[in-house]
Amino acid sequence: MILQLFEGEKIRFAAFDADKDAEALSKWTHDPEYMRLLSPDPARPLAPFHIKKRFEEMEKEAGRDFYYFVIRAREDDRALGFTHLRWIEWNHGNAHFDMGIGSASDRGKGYGSEALQMLFRYAFEELNLYRLTGHTMEYNTGAQKFLLKHGFQLEVRRREALQREGRYWDGLTYGILADEWANANR
Amino acid sequence: MDNQLFNGTLVRLAIENPETDAASLARWERDTEFERVLSHKPVFPSGQKKWRERLEEAPDERQFWFSVFALAEDKLIGFVGIFMVRQQHGDCMVGIGMGEPEFRGKGYGTDALRLALRFAFRELNMHRVALMVLATNARAIRSYEKCGFVREGVTRGADYRDRIRRDVISMGILRSEWERANSR
Amino acid sequence: MDNQLLTGKLTRLVAGDPDKFGELNAKWSHDSEFFMLFDSDPVMVRDAKRSGQFFRERAEKERPGAFPFLVQTLEDERLIGEGGLWNALSSNRDAWVSIGIGERELWGKGYGSDALNVMLRFAFRELNLHRVNLVTFEYNRRAIRAYEKLGFVHEGKIRGGMRRSHQRWAIVFMGILRDEWESANR
């Protein structure tokens, strides 16, 4: 039995700490590349003040159908990114997740992979979900490779569901079942 | 994909600190000439606290205001925003003000406006961006024309101040026009 | 120009205040089959007062872009169902649609399809959307057939996204582009 769900090799899952994290999260929102890889909504910079306020709002929901983690580097405790489970349908065992590694210099170092494996463990072995759903965009080929590498299957292709840089792109939805993850990790 | 949405050649757009931004806005609004070209409303200082409250409001999908920083000096010099976003029509307005006088007439505003247009067309997917300007504000009109705005009409004598009536000019730019001028 | 924007052949779309939504939903909530076809939330019987409270809260939290409707018959002006367009003012010109006929003796008579097509006209001709999405459930065969007939295209399935009656079912994603709707409604 794994008892340390929040401690990885290079990273740890931590709670959002407004004093420590708001600056970093605000900085990430000023990077349009990051914002566009993360979401189809307009990239919008937010001041640390707005980040804190948003967290206060989210905290009202936290724990019921929303679980948020700041991903921290074990070496110096800096915030690397975030991941969360939202819109959990307990009666069906399905949840949607998002993940972002904020600084370009922290990407491609395996932090996201380790975070996703920890998130799987949390979702499947603590929350006992049946499956996990992830969304990305046609232009985010990095995320597509990342999801496939970790066992997700492409399930839905919403044609021309988003517009950016003057053209349409498909919206992609991926899924993995708890059994698929367990079989791959036996 | 070109992701340079917030960085221009002279300025960058940001939302960093409602408190210091409010201090600048409260200072700029005491400049009557500046205030009068910005808005048709009676000039009236609302004060730092009010500005701060406004800047701290939760982001609204119908307006995207940015603080404009001069890159070299890393100094807050003005603001620019896309507002009245009507997604169903693909139509919106742009507003800009260079609060720091020594940064006017040197291309900072034009650079900020170019970023705002890029954001409107390539991120918000607008069809058209519009603005209104006092007919007497020649410097602003030159800058707008440089960015590709076209005169669309005149509201005669709509601005009345110091017992002088001034015309207000409506200008607009379509996405197709912007794309032609900015294809890279 | 079509000035009967919200009127179809059998139904019209009308506004409803939260209390009206509450009253009708409370009535329909006692038909568990209806809600299993309509929604993935656990079915539950509701009284009009609590249900009204839910819709009042929903109205307060609504972001711009929510267009809830009640469905009224043209023939006798009876309120028979509900639907809406959701997140319809995003920069991606993409929205979600929902439709449900609560009065079960009117199922299979074309009321739902008629009201849905009116919502699509509203979506494409008034909101100028590029596409409209919906989700339904694998076991709701009648709905899937109706959506296909209106021109919706299958875009994928969330595998096992629901568990009901001891069985796993897929959540079915369908979408229609403006051009597709226009050529089907010429």
Tell me the average pLDDT across B144-148. Answer: 96
Cβ-proximal residues to A145 (8 Å cutoff; 6+ apart), any chain? none
B67 close to A26: Cβ distance less than 8 angstroms: no
Distance from CA of B145 to the nearest CA of C (A): 26
CA distance A154 to A131: 13
The confidence score (pLDDT) of residue A185 equals 85
Distance CA A40, CA C131 (A): 15
Cα–Cα distance measured from residue A22 to residue A55, given in angstroms and rounded to the nearest whole number? 10
- Tell me the average pLDDT across C13-23: 93
Mean residue pLDDT across chain B: 95
Residue A133 main-chain phi, psi, to 5 deg: -120, 140
Which helix (DSSP H) or strand (DSSP E) does residue C36 occupy?
A: helix C32-38
Task: Say which CATH number the domain at A131 has.
Answer: 3.40.630.30
In the prediction, which pLDDT does A149 show?
Answer: 97
Residue among C63, C89, C92 minimizing CB distance to B88: C89
Task: Map residue C158 onto helix, strand or coil.
Answer: strand
Assess if residue A2 is contained within a domain: no
Q: What is the pLDDT of residue C1?
A: 58
Low-confidence stretches of chain A (pLDDT < 70) are: 62-63
A1 part of a folded domain: no
List domains and CATH numbers for chain B. Answer: 11-182 (3.40.630.30)
* Region of poorest pLDDT, from B25-34, B36-45, B46-55, B96-105: B36-45
Q: What is the mean pLDDT of chain C?
A: 95
pLDDT recorded at residue A63: 66
The answer to whether the Cβ–Cβ distance between C91 and B62 falls below 8 Å is: no
Domain count, chain A: 1
Touching check for B50 and chain A: CB below 8 Å?
Answer: no
Q: Which of A129, A135, B154 is nearest to C133 (CA)?
A: A135
The answer to whether residue A3 sits within a structural domain is: no
Nearest-angstrom CA–CA distance, B157 and B168: 7
CB-CB contact of B81 with B64 (8 Å):
yes
Residues in a beta bridge with C154: C174
Q: How many CB atoms lie within 10 A of CB A14?
A: 15
Q: What SS3 class is residue C171?
A: strand
Per the domain annotation, does A113 fall within a domain?
A: yes
pLDDT of residue A21: 94
Q: How far is B139 from chain C (nearest CA, A)?
A: 32
Q: Which residues of B touch A48 (CB under 8 A)?
A: 16-17
pLDDT of residue B184: 57
Q: Give CA–CA dist A116/A134, Å, rounded.
A: 11
The predicted pLDDT at position B42 comes to 87
pLDDT tens readout for residues C125-136: 999 999 999 999
CB A107 within 8 A of CB A147: no
pLDDT at B21 over 90: yes
Subunit contact B123:A164, Cβ cutoff 8 A: yes
pLDDT score at C2: 63
Bridge partners (DSSP) listed for residue B73: none
Write down the ipTM of this complex: 0.92
C63 confidence band (pLDDT: 50, 70, 90): confident
CATH architecture, range C11-184: 3-Layer(aba) Sandwich (3.40)
The answer to whether B85 and B63 are in contact (CB under 8 A) is yes
Domain assignment present for residue A80? The answer is yes
> Taking CB atoms and an 8 Å cutoff, what residues of chain B touch C127?
88
Q: Tell me the shortest Cα–Cα distance from C11 to chain B, in angstroms.
A: 25
Whether B121 and B179 have beta carbons less than 8 Å apart is answered as yes
Q: Which residues of A touch B90 (CB under 8 A)?
A: none
**Of the candidate ranges B32-41, C6-15, C29-38, C111-120, the one whose mean pLDDT is the lowest:** B32-41
CA distance B115 to C35: 48
Q: What string of DSSP letters covers C15-38? A: ---HHHHHHHHHHHHT-HHHHHHH
What integer pLDDT is reported at residue A57 of this predicted model? 86
User: Please, which residues have CB within 8 angstroms of residue A106's CB and are 6 or more apart in sequence?
Assistant: A73, A80, A81
Domain interval for residue A38: 11-184
Q: Name the pTM for this structure.
A: 0.92
Rounded to an integer, what distance in angstroms lies between the CA atom of residue A182 and that of residue A121?
Answer: 9
Q: How many CA atoms lie within 13 A of B9 on its CB side?
A: 7
| Average pLDDT score, chain A | 95
Segments making up each domain of chain C, as ranges: 11-184
Q: Provide mean pLDDT across the span B14-32.
A: 95
Cβ–Cβ below 8 Å for C93 and B87: yes
Percent of chain B with pLDDT over 70: 99
Question: Which chain C residue is nearest to residue B89, measuring alpha carbons?
Answer: C128
